[in-house]
Structure 1
Amino acid sequence: MILLKLTVENFRQFRGKQEIQFFTPSKEDANVTVVFGENGRGKTGLFRAIVFCLFGERRLSQDGDVPHDELQLVNVSALEANPDKPVKTVVELEFSHRDSHYRLRRAILGMQDDGRIIEEEDEIRLFVTPASGNTQQVPTTEINEVIDSILDRRVKDYFLFDGEKIERLTRASIEQRREISAGIRNLLNVDALETAIKAVGRVTRGLERELSGASHEELSRLLKRLGDNEEEQTRAGKRLDELAHEIRLARQEIEKTDKELEKFNEIRHLLERRKSLEQELSELEQQAAEALSEMKNLVCKASALIVAPTVISVYEHIDHQKQKGEIPSEIRRDLIERILEEKLCICGSSVCEGSDAYTHIIEWLKRTSDVSTQDAALNLWRYLSEVRNHFSDDADLTEKRLQQYGNIRSAIANVNRSLENVSNQIGTSERHDATKLDEHRKKLQENIISLEANARVTQSQLEQLQQENDRLRALLKEEKLKVGRNDELSRRSILARDTQDALNDIYSQFTREIKDMISESATLLFRDLLDQEGRENLRTIIVNEDYSLQVLDRYKKPFLANISAGQRQIMSISFIAALARIAARGSKIEIPLFMDTPFGRLSYEHRQNLINQVPTFASQWILLATDTEFRRQEAQLLKNSGKWGKFFMLRSTKDGNTEIVEQDISSALAILRDEEAYQ
């Protein structure tokens, strides 16, 4: 099966009609398509579109227990733009399989109703064009059968490598065993055998109930104990499933919590920056208040600067008079007036009117003033002299305070702008509940530890019950032979039990063969994908009897607990690829492999091996990557391999949707960043 083209219309994040062409006929060997975009832009949504188109299913394995009505497929923006009209969502997939061309179209109608979104199936069509070139439309009732013959829906989850599945397979836990068991169960394709085992089991229990009513005390006792034991086994098995389910839910909740914490971590530097800016703003506001208070104290002095020219002029005038001796007068006014009255100078000479001496004395009298006026003038001169001396200092201080206050207000304005910018980057979610999220995560982790401990106890109990079951069956068989050699009911009961055991043995043998096939295939892939150091130390991947995975070292000793995170991821990828290869019934994986950000914990050599090897054992590889996963180094490796055919970018639009944009492969090297950019 080769995917050729996917067309989506109003599907999830993709508003309007958009398409991805996976395959170029002129480049048949270029079987790698890279879909590049940020988390949340719709990379997994494209895989969901393919699964929906092929099987009519909207749920993926990573959706967990998300309610069905929350898995909406119709584009919300299209619904909001047409509030009273139905919106049609269409997914069309073109693919080839064994020289035939297929075009599958599936559509649903969605509509808003009182705040709810209602979706219902609208159409499904399948057109097949064989090598002869005569296109035929497959009847609607036969479409599912045709698709299942090409790709069994039970193995659909094994052509998507998502981070969650890879992570589950790296843990030696009940989740790992359940995941592997489910994968192998889907590969067995033994529905008829399982139906036969269940049917024979019902017959056996019915016969044994009849036999227990006979007058055989020991036989009745054994049958009751066996029945009780099998009921306990059933309960223990259900309890294990419940524990695995609870652990899975807890891990999903941890994953959701981690995503919230990651969002918090993404803005941690912004929150710290905002806190620092708010502290700086508080300090600046305090400085501005103090500067303003100091400026108020300078009002009187500063106001004097307004009349400074007048003050200086008055001072200079008085000082000039003082310099000339007019203030204070050289001779007191009362003395001059007494001389003029007595007409007698202090030296005893007479002063007659009209004489030169009289004229000079009159001139003196004109230049003198009364004592109070002269004292006031002298006091004003002294005060103005002091004031004038402070003018320069007061002017400098006032100017300094004004500049200081202006600088503070300018700094406040800058901080406010920075705060607004940081707040816009942070958004409306303050995420002050990070501490609560951490506490919630710790409680979830503690709960998982408790659940896993209970699972180990339950698993041990189940193993003990199975051993007791085997023992009781052997005793029951002997007792039936003792009491019923000539008893038709006993012979029929023994035959039914033997038939059930034989069918279970066949099932177990088939399961062991599949396990061995998976181990062999996974080991070959593992050896190809490992780096040099890993190939020297690690040898084999095996699937244990209890469905757990194990890695053996060169001495054939269990080594899983000691391998690195990158080696664990390579082990998981090898196992899932082995499942896909066996599902394809060949040495080459004939179904498209989607890998969602598979490079997370891998070293450069592991990445290099993955890029070089996957295109050789997969018919088609669609790599869903982010900028931290797919960098310039990986792009160069992939380009050099000659297997890279298509490159698409998922870009955010103004309305929050996603636009699919095809880019030339050579442009990727300019778009992507180097590894150093992430250090």
Structure 2
Amino acid sequence: MKIRSIELENFKQYKNKQIIQFSTNENNITIIKGNNGEGKTTLFRAIIFCLFGELKLPQDTENDLDLVNILSLKHNQPLPVRAYVKTIIEENQKIYEIERSIESIMKNDQIITSENTDIEIKIIEKDGNINPNIIKNEEKAQKIINNLLNKDIKDFFFFDGEKIENLINSDNKSKKEIKNGILKLSKIDKLEKIIDILNVSISKYNKEIKRYNLDTKLQAKNIELDKLEKNIKNKEYELEKNYKEKNYITKELNYIELKLVENIKAKENLNTLKILKEQKNKIDKRLNDLKNESLEYIKGKNITLLLLDKIERCYEEIKILKKEDKIQNYSIELIDELLENKKCICGNPIHKNSESYNKLLELKNNYSESDYKRFYEDFYINLKILKESKKSKKDRISKILKNINESKDDREKILIQIETLEEKLSNLSSEKLSNLDNSENTLKSLKKDLINNEAGIQNLEKEMKILKIKKTDLLNEIEKLEKEEKEIKNLSIKKKYLNNFLKTINEIKDNYIQKVRTTLSEESTNMTKKLINEKDKNLIDSIKINDKYEISLNSQGHDFLANLSAGQKHLVSLSFIYALAKIANENNEENTLSIPLIMDTPFGRLSSEHRKSIIENVPQFCSQWILLVTDTELEDKTKSIIKNTNYFGKYYEINKKNEYISIIENKTNLFGGNYFD
């Protein structure tokens, strides 16, 4: 199957008729570039709408639900406007022209959209003649389209590149999608239908046997079997409930761990803020103590501190007068005492008529007593004492003032830091702050709950295993009793044949599923190792798909899948799709995927090395590769890689004229020129 072209008109922002011719030859890559909001995803949506009639995508918001061009609706109100998408598909030398349309009307600026869509399929046969039977019935049309591409597996080949890694998650939805994909592509679903038919037939025979066996041991065994099956069903319900609880706990754990990582800086800021506030309080106390101490120095007589400069100046002037002998600094009593004792102050004797003795006599004769002499002496001594005392106090006050200024500076710096942190934390409500403090305790509690949950699951699985063994034994007993019942001999024989046939079919199915899982595992592993970069190849021992359709990545004996980056999960998912393609094309000698691969935003989460690997390998197993890319995805290096693969076919750009109109321009001729160089 290859998509030749798509034509659309009045479909969302494509007001005027737009046509894209996809590359269908060996150059199987078609690139459509458009930035966000220009209409790239609309093309993806248009193909899904045309083939399957789906009006919205999983990621849609309310604004995305209007499929008819709003500008056309405004210009034509209150008349209806028809939007259509036509897709031309080639399959087994037949051409299918599939056109789907929808109508909307605008009244008083309110858009009313028809609940139904119209479809029309024209088939051009191998000989080139148009089949006269144009299909307009939705049910018949879907049968034809499902033969081209089954709706249940479309998401494996038409997908958003940024969400492809969701394919390998372990949730129930992903497991169901993987199971459906494996069953559909490997044709196992046909065996399942046969098994369902056989089970219905066996159930009918069981009812007949019970009806004819009311008074026998077989009746009692069948009643016991019913109770046992109900018990098994109850256990299965409990087990499913526990698995749901496990998924919920796991999601909560992941959410809280993510929030703890996101808010670890906030927590650090809170601790820093607390420390800063404690430091501020200490500085405030120190300032208060210094203030009180300074007040003590300016109380009472300490007012003389203000006269310290004048005291020092007066002291120095008297000191100069004394030095110049303008003020006598000795008393007459001292001279008389020295003359009488004939002994110097230093202890040496003073002899009569000696030079020292005569000098003392001269001083005595020249001595003049003044009313101010003793005043100067006392004043000079008191000034000296006062000067030394006040200078000490002044030094202390200077030190206090210095400490006050330094403390104020420190306080101002801390206040700035506190204000900065409080501004950073302003977006955190008190409830969020409280939740942040409790997150670690909640995380511990959830981990404990998860351990208990897993223990409960393990116990239930053990009980289920025992019950199933009992059921098998009971079925064997019933089979033995059935043989002994002559009245139901024929029914028992028929039932036996059916059970044997069912057993054989189940064995075939189980063996084939095992083979398919093995093939999927091997092909997924090989392709992943081919796509992933060299340094990460040692991380992958093998990729496994278990009987619950869960994908695991074994690395040195451990499941490493949860530790993969988004880009690595992207590669594993692509490898799994490639493996599915191998299963679907088991008998195809070309060994290529017969279904087109359409990827919206394919490279968003990939490193340049991973991009290169995908671009070089995907075209080799894919018959047609349609890429809906943004400008950032199609940077020069990526363009160069695409050009060097020799698989490039066609290139289009989406040109957004305004909010309501985008056009598609064929820029294929520019791909090989300076435009990409």
Per the normalisation by structure 1, the TM-score is 0.61
* Residues in 2 aligned to 1:603 and 1:511: alpha-carbon distance in whole angstroms: 35
Aligned partners of 1:168 and 1:175 also within 8 Å: no
Find the partner of 1:43 among 40, 45, 50: 40
Contact 1:107 1:121 in 2 (8 A): no
| Structure 2 partner of 1:198 | 196
- Structure 1 stretch displaced more, 220-229 or 5-14: 220-229
* Matched residue type, 1:533: K
Structure 1 position 5 matched with structure 2 position 2: no
The change in CA–CA distance for 1:41 and 1:435 in structure 2 (over 3 A counts) is farther
Alignment of 1:516-535 (within 5 A): 516-535=518-537
Find the residue that maps to 2:119 and give its secondary structure: strand
2:664 maps to what in 1?
660
1:100 paired residue among 69, 94, 100: 94
Which residue of the partner structure matches residue 89 of structure 1? 83
Corresponding letter in the other structure for 1:480: I
* Letter in structure 1 aligned against 2:552: Q
**Gapped runs of 5+ residues in structure 1?**
262-431, 674-679
Q: 1:75 aligns to what?
A: 69
Q: Which residue of 1 aligns with 2:27?
A: 30
Partners in 1 of 2:41 and 2:27 — Cα distance? 22
1:611 lines up with 2:615 in the alignment: yes
Deviates more, 1:209-218 or 1:466-475: 209-218
Report the equivalent of 2:640: 636
Structure 1 SS opposite 2:16 = strand
Moved more, 28-37 or 629-638: 28-37
Q: Label 1:245 to 1:116 Cα distance change in 2 as closer, same or farther (>3 A).
A: farther
SS in 2 for 1:601: coil
Distance 1:176 1:234, change over 3 A: same
**d(CA) in 2 for partners of 1:436, 1:651:** 47
In structure 2, relative to structure 1, the CA distance for the partners of 1:507 and 1:645 (3 Å cut) is same
Structure 1 match to 2:653: 649
What's 2:598 paired with? 594
Question: 1:672 Cα shift?
Answer: 7.9
Residue 352 (structure 2) aligns with: none
Residue 575 of structure 1, CA deviation: 0.5
Alignment counterpart, residue 167 of structure 2, candidates 157, 166, 169: 169
Whole-angstrom distance in 1 between the partners of 2:11 and 2:122: 22
Partner of 2:581: 580
Report the Cα offset of residue 242 of structure 1.
Answer: 7.1
Residue in structure 2 matched with residue 128 of structure 1 by the alignment:
123
Pick closer, same or farther for the CA change 1:52–1:176 going to 2, 3 Å.
Answer: closer
In 2, Cα distance between the equivalents of 1:18 and 1:450? 58
- Structure 1 residue 34 displacement after superposition: 1.4
Aligned counterparts of 2:466 and 2:155: Cα–Cα separation in 1:
37
Distance in 1, Cα, partners of 2:447 & 2:173 = 13
Judge conservation of contact 1:232–1:465 (CA < 8 Å) in 2.
no
Matched, 1:20 2:31: no
Task: Give the 3 Å change call, closer, same or farther, for CA 500–105 of structure 1 in structure 2.
Answer: same
Once the two structures are overlaid, the 10-residue window that deviates more, 454-463 or 177-186, is 454-463
Say whether the 8 Å CA contact 1:236–1:461 is kept in structure 2: no
**Cα distance, 1:150–1:177 mapped onto 2, change above 3 Å:** closer
- Distance (Å, rounded) in 2 between the aligned partners of 1:105 and 1:438: 56
Indicate the residue corresponding to 2:471 in structure 1: 473
Q: Deviations over 1:570-593 (max 9, x none)?
A: 111111222234334532012211
- Residue identity opposite 1:22 in structure 2: F
Return 221-230 or 485-494, whichever deviates more. 485-494
Choose which of 48, 53, 57 in structure 2 pairs with 1:56: 53
Change (3 A) 1:219 1:450: same
Which amino acid is the alignment partner of residue 577 of structure 1?
Answer: Y
User: 1:208, 1:223 within 8 Å by CA — same for their partners in 2?
Assistant: no
Letter matched to residue 631 of structure 2: D
Counterpart Cα distance in 2 of 1:234 and 1:540:
31
Q: Do the aligned residues in 2 keep the contact of 1:161 with 1:576 (CA within 8 Å)?
A: no
- Corresponding residue for residue 149 of structure 1: 147
Which amino acid letter does the alignment assign opposite residue 655 of structure 1?
E
Separation (CA, whole Å) in 2 of partners of 1:453 and 1:164: 33
Separation in 2, partners of 1:569, 1:220: 51
Deviations 1:510-539 (A, max 9, x none): 322222232233233223212222345534
Residues of 2 paired with 1:132 and 1:456: CA distance? 62
CA deviation after TM superposition for structure 1 residue 226, in Å: 2.2
Q: Name which of structure 1's ranges 445-454 and 182-191 shifts more when overlaid on structure 2.
A: 445-454
* Counterpart-to-counterpart distance in 2, 1:507 and 1:436: 56
How far apart, in 2, do the equivalents of 1:434 and 1:20 lie? 52
After superposition, the Cα gap between the structure-2 partners of 1:484 and 1:566, relative to the gap in structure 1 and judged at 3 Å, is same
Displacement of 1:625 = 1.6
Q: Distance in 1 between matches of 2:582 and 2:36?
A: 29
CA 121–179 in structure 1, closer or farther in 2 if over 3 Å, else same = closer
Letter in 2 for 1:566: G
Residue of structure 1 in register with 2:516 after alignment: 514
Counterpart check, 1:110 vs 2:111: no
Q: What per-residue deviation string (whole Å, max 9, x for no partner) do you get for residues 117-165 of structure 1?
A: 2225564333333453333344315544443333333322221232465
C-alpha distance in structure 1 between counterparts of 2:671 and 2:452, whole Å = 54
Tell me, in whole angstroms, the C-alpha distance in 2 between the residues paired with 1:120 and 1:75: 17
Cα displacement (A) at 1:634: 0.3
2:114 corresponding residue in structure 1: 119
TM alignment of 1:303-318, pairs within 5 A = none
Moved more, 495-504 or 35-44: 495-504
* 1:513/1:120 CA distance change after superposition, 3 Å: same
Instruction: Name the CA distance, whole Å, in 2 between partners of 1:124 and 1:186.
Output: 25
Residue 435 of structure 1 and its aligned partner are, at CA, apart by 12
**How many angstroms does 1:480 deviate by?**
1.6
Is the 1:6–1:21 Cα contact (8 Å) retained in structure 2?
A: yes
CA distance in 2, matches of 1:440, 1:75: 46
Q: 1:570 maps to which residue?
A: 571
* CA–CA separation in structure 2 for the residues paired with 1:150 and 1:434: 55
143-152 or 573-582, which moves further after superposition? Answer: 143-152
In structure 2, what is the equivalent of residue 186 of structure 1? 184
Shift of 1:506: 3.4
Q: Which amino acid aligns with 1:185?
A: L
Question: Contact (CA 8 Å) 1:89, 1:108: kept in 2 or not?
Answer: yes
Query: Which amino acid counterpart does residue 44 of structure 1 have in structure 2?
Result: T
Does residue 1:542 correspond to 2:540, yes or no?
Answer: no
**RMSD over equivalenced CA pairs, Å:** 4.5
Cα drift, residue 200 of structure 1: 3.7
Alpha-carbon distance in 1 for matches of 2:598, 2:446: 30
Task: Name the CA distance, whole Å, in 2 between partners of 1:614 and 1:232.
Answer: 46
Gaps of 5+ in 2: 263-426
Identify the residue that residue 289 of structure 2 maps to in structure 1.
none
Q: Distance in 2 between matches of 1:669 and 1:649?
A: 15
Q: Given the superposition, is the C-alpha separation of residues 485 and 136 from structure 1 closer, same or farther in structure 2, using an over 3 Å criterion?
A: closer
How far does the alpha carbon of each residue in 1:396-424 deviate from its partner, in whole angstroms, 9 at most, with x for none?
Answer: xxxxxxxxxxxxxxxxxxxxxxxxxxxxx
Give the SS at the match of 2:471: helix
Q: 1:578 to 1:48 in 2, by over 3 A?
A: farther
On the 8 A contact 1:13/1:42 being kept in 2, the answer is yes
Give the counterpart letter for 1:653 in structure 2. Answer: K
SS of the residue corresponding to residue 133 of structure 1 reads coil
How much does 1:476 deviate?
A: 0.9
Query: 1:346 maps to which residue?
Result: none
Is contact 1:170-1:568 (8 Å) kept? yes
Residues 155 and 580 of structure 1 are in contact (CA less than 8 Å); yes or no, is this contact kept in structure 2?
no
Distance 1:242 1:540 in 2: 28
8 Å contact from structure 1 (residues 38, 627) kept in 2: yes
Task: Tell me the distance in 2 between the aligned counterparts of 1:647 and 1:55.
Answer: 26
